Amino acid sequence: MPPKIAKLAGLGAFAACAGIAALFLLFVYGTRPTASAGMDGTLRFISWLSVAGVLLALLGVHLLIGRRLLALSRGDNPPA
């Protein structure tokens, strides 16, 4: 892979991390309790925890791929 493409793809993976974090914040904002609606505390906690687990896994994969791509763009051997 050409170094410029690897660098752009690596930076894109890190930008996707910001998008994943924003998606979780939007989910938390949408499920917060309000005066007229909302979820009860137990259901809200379980849904936040389950969605956070999936998004943390995605976040970890994007961080690993981004680090490897940036190392590849510098000409280093990607970390194992």
Mean pLDDT (whole number) for 37-53: 87
Tokens of 32: 């917060």
* pLDDT class of 19 with cuts at 50, 70, 90: very high
Which residue range is the domain that position 46 belongs to?
3-74
Asked if the structure places residue 23 within a domain, the reply is: yes
Q: Nearest-CA neighbor of 70 among 1, 11, 2, 19? A: 11
Mean pLDDT (whole number) for 35-60: 88
* pLDDT class of 1 with cuts at 50, 70, 90: confident
Mean pLDDT (whole number) for 33-55: 86
- What does the alpha-carbon distance between residue 15 and residue 65 come to, in Å, rounded to a whole number? 12
pLDDT at 60 over 70: yes
DSSP labels for 16-72? Answer: HHHHHHHHHHHHHHHTS--SS----HHHHHHHHHHHHHHHHHHHHHHHHHHHHHHHH
pLDDT of residue 78: 59
3-state secondary structure (DSSP) of residue 2:
coil
Asked if the structure places residue 80 within a domain, the reply is: no
| Number of domains the chain contains | 1
pLDDT at 73 over 70: yes
